[in-house]
């Protein structure tokens, strides 16, 4: 039997706080979704963001979790593989998988800024996970 790491409630709270701080520094109203490794919501923070950001952030988190890759890399692949659009994926920057070694433990999806800003906010949470894991 194989055992793998998973996110705790405290981990999720700290990751969300890092994302919120990054969004505040950038002056952005965003929605932040943190999911488990299957793309199921563990936490959702809507920071005065438009309603439309909710579904986008959910889709980005789910996509990053199930593909184990940042959604920005999928956005680039859609140009040469348009069939990706038929797979219920959200290939727009702003989704980042949460990895511990080779194990995906979840993902972060952010929506409300540009795809690059969303990914920067999500990456702040992913960086925090690496410091939690180092300790």
CATH number, domain with residue 103: 3.30.450.150
In a domain, 1, yes or no: no
In a domain, 64, yes or no: yes
Average pLDDT over residues 14-38: 98
pLDDT band at residue 135 using 50, 70 and 90 as cut-offs: low
pLDDT of the residue at 134: 65
In a domain, 2, yes or no: no
What pLDDT digit, counting tens, does each position of 48-59 carry? 999 999 999 999
In a domain, 113, yes or no: yes
Task: State the Cα–Cα distance between residues 89 and 85, nearest whole angstrom.
Answer: 6
Q: Which range of residues forms the domain containing residue 73? A: 9-134
Query: What is the number of domains present in the chain?
Result: 1
In a domain, 4, yes or no: no
What pLDDT digit, counting tens, does each position of 51-98 carry? 999 999 999 999 999 999 999 988 778 777 777 676 788 889 999 999
In a domain, 3, yes or no: no
CA-CA distances (angstroms) from residue 78 to 54, 89, 92, 112, 113? 22, 11, 10, 21, 21
Contact 125, 18 (CB under 8 A): yes
Nearest Cα to 45, choosing from 117, 122, 104? 122
In a domain, 34, yes or no: yes
Contact 110, 19 (CB under 8 A): yes
Task: State the Cα–Cα distance between residues 32 and 113, nearest whole angstrom.
Answer: 11
pLDDT of the residue at 78: 77
- Compute the residue count for the chain: 135
Tokens of 72: 């920005």
In a domain, 88, yes or no: yes
User: pTM of whole model > 0.85?
Assistant: yes
């Amino acid at each position: 039997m194989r055992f793998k790491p998973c996110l705790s409630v405290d981990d999720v709270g700290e990751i969300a706080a890092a994302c919120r701080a990054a969004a505040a520094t950038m002056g952005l109203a965003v929605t932040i979704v943190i999911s488990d490794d299957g793309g199921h919501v563990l936490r959702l923070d809507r920071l005065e963001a438009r309603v439309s950001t909710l579904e986008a952030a959910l889709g980005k988190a789910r996509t990053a979790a199930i593909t184990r890759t940042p959604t920005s890399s999928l956005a680039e692949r859609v140009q040469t593989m348009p069939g990706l659009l038929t797979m219920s994926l959200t290939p727009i920057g702003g989704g980042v998988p949460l990895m511990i070694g080779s194990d995906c433990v979840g993902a972060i999806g952010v929506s409300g800024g540009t795809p690059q800003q969303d990914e920067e906010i999500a990456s702040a949470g992913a960086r925090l996970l690496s410091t939690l894991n180092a300790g």
